[in-house]
Amino acid sequence: MRSKLLGALLASSLAFGAHAQDLANHTIKIGVLTDFSSQYAAFSGKFTLAGVQMAAEDFMKAHPNHKVEVVFADHQNKPDIGSTIVRQWLDRDGVDMIADLATSAVALAVIPLAADKKKIAIVSSGNSSRITEEDCTPYSIHWTYNTRVVAVPGIQAMVKQGDDTFFFITSDNTSGISLETDAMEAVKAAGGKVVGSVRHPFGAPDFSSFVLQAQASKAKVLMLANSGPDVVNTVKSINEFGLKKTQKIFAPTAGIIALKGMGLELAQGLYYATGFYWNQDDPDTQAFSKRYIARMGQPPENTFAADYSSTMHYLNAVEAVGSMDGDKIMAKMRATPIRDMFTKSGKLREDGRLVYDYYLWQVKSPSETKDEWDSLKRISPAIPGDIAYGPPSTKCKLIKG
């Protein structure tokens, strides 16, 4: 009996040793799938890639016995192209983790492909709530904002102060419709009223007719359920027709790049919600931002920082479990709180949603800014992540009703 026990222990020890050796000899391969050439290139592309690369470099400095390789590809905002790339990465190229996944339609197409191989896919640039609801998987993670969190806290605050009627200008694509749906539900839940809405094609060349419909609605708040260059062009049209004189503008996805594209003269006064701002009062955030600026010539958008944070959390989990097993890595990632340059309050839920504190911000006037990127001032205390994101949805098959 004792002989059998010793034999079993020796076999287990040898298996663990062999597995650890396999990991030591394994190059961890991360594939960054993003938009390098289409509408979102300035909001993802080389800038999100840099976040992943910085994390890989920092991890290898801390763990010189591990090798990390970062590969990348342009999905051109086309789900079919993104899917083809990921199939090749998984079937032929040995990619272990998929990162960034700019645009929701691409993310939703790719997530199940990774899950079939028990490979982890981390979404930083897509924003659809479906990622952690009806399309959730045990191996997919949504690290940054979704269409609920960017809308709900701001809407609640605005209705509370009497701004209780809303008109929506919505991009007719996956993320725009998802944002519109979540925001309209939030307006009604807060006691407000949706007085109208209009949808525009993604990448519309002219927003005049949509803005004039918003003006005619006499809504107190004009909600922009679009993103990227569409936000920039909508705000330019809003200023052309003078809507800000009579209506408040809530642009929940307008990051610092979009704000710079508008110019603070046009963007000032817009409301915006985010949990990360490059110049927020946190020494870790400011130190990371300084490094990012030195590398890329501009501060990090929240999604750029998220790619660093999520990649580092993944690599630390791989190191901790000593394995490339997707189930073990996910379990470790969920068990480990996120306390870094991105957030001090992060926790990863069973549905794959990273939950962290949020804030409502307002765009500064030109006279309030220190430089061209110093665009936001915080106008709310921290909104705890559990409140900002709400409870996990039973639409996700991983959540028991």
The whole-number pLDDT of residue 401 equals 66
CATH of the domain at 270: 3.40.50.2300
H or E element: which one contains 262?
helix 256-262
The answer to whether position 138 is within a domain reads yes
The rounded distance, in Å, linking the Cα atoms of 366 and 209 is 29
CB 215, CB 162: distance < 8 Å: no
* Residues 379 and 237 grouped into a single domain: yes
CA proximity to 266, closest of 244, 243, 245, 239? 239
Residue 168 domain flag:
yes
106 shares a domain with 130: yes
- 102 and 24 together in one domain: yes
- pLDDT value of position 253: 85
What gap in Å lies between CA 168 and CA 152, rounded to an integer?
A: 14
- Other beta carbons within 10 angstroms of residue 80's beta carbon come to 11
The verdict on residue 395 lying in a domain is no
The number of domains in the chain is 2
- Which residue type, as a one-letter code, is found at position 128? S
Are 266 and 206 in a shared domain? Answer: yes
- Beta-carbon neighbour count of residue 251 at 10 Å? 29
Q: Predicted confidence band at 15 (pLDDT cuts at 50, 70, 90)?
A: very low
What is the residue type of 104?
Answer: S
The residue ranges of DSSP E strands in 232-355, in sequence order, are 248-250, 271-274, 347-348, 354-355
Instruction: Please indicate, yes or no, whether residues 383 and 259 belong to a single structural domain of this protein.
Output: yes
- Convert the pLDDT of each residue in 32-86 to its tens digit: 999 999 888 888 999 999 999 999 999 999 999 999 999 999 999 999 999 999 9
Pairing of strands 376-378, 359-363: antiparallel
Q: Would residue 129 count as lying in a domain?
A: yes
175 and 302 part of one domain:
no
Is 275 in the same domain as 289?
no
Number of C-beta neighbours around residue 250 at 10 A? 26
pLDDT digits (tens, 9 = 90+) for 150-195: 888 889 888 988 999 999 999 999 889 989 999 999 999 999 999 9
Please give the average per-residue pLDDT across 77-98, as a whole number. Answer: 97
Quick one: pLDDT band at residue 367, thresholds 50, 70, 90? very high
Confidence tier at 340 by pLDDT (50, 70, 90)? very high
Q: CA 248 from chain center: how many Å?
A: 25
**Same domain, yes or no: 269 and 370:** yes
Between CA 120 and CA 112 the distance in angstroms is: 10
- Nearest one of 307, 329, 331 to 318, comparing CA atoms: 329
The whole-number average pLDDT for the span 328-336 is 98
Domain span holding position 165 = 152-279+358-389
**DSSP-assigned letter for residue 276:** -
Structural element, H or E, at residue 70: strand 67-74
The one-letter amino acid code at 394 reads T
CA distances in angstroms from 248 to 138, 188, 360, listed in the order given: 40, 18, 14
**First-last CA distance in the chain:** 47
**Does 7 have pLDDT greater than 60?**
no
Q: Are 35 and 77 in contact (CB under 8 A)?
A: yes
397 assigned to some structural domain: no
Asked if residue 68 belongs to a domain, the reply is: yes
pLDDT confidence bin for 4, thresholds 50/70/90: very low
Q: For residue range 108-153, list pLDDT tens digits in order.
A: 999 999 999 999 999 998 888 899 999 999 999 999 988 888 888 8
The reply to whether 303 falls in a domain is: yes
Strands 221-225 and 248-250: parallel
Write down the H helix ranges in 42-173: 45-62, 79-91, 104-116, 152-160
**Does residue 275 sit in the same domain as residue 175?**
yes
The reply to whether 237 and 374 lie within a common domain is yes
Task: Identify whether residues 286 and 275 lie together within a single domain.
Answer: no
Per DSSP, the residues of 195-208 read: EEEEEE-TT-S--H
Which residue in 125, 54, 69 sits closest to 291, CA to CA?
A: 54
* Residue 120 belongs to a domain: yes
**Residue 135 sits in the same domain as residue 168:** no
Between 108 and 5, name the one with better pLDDT.
Answer: 108
Chain center to CA of 208? 30
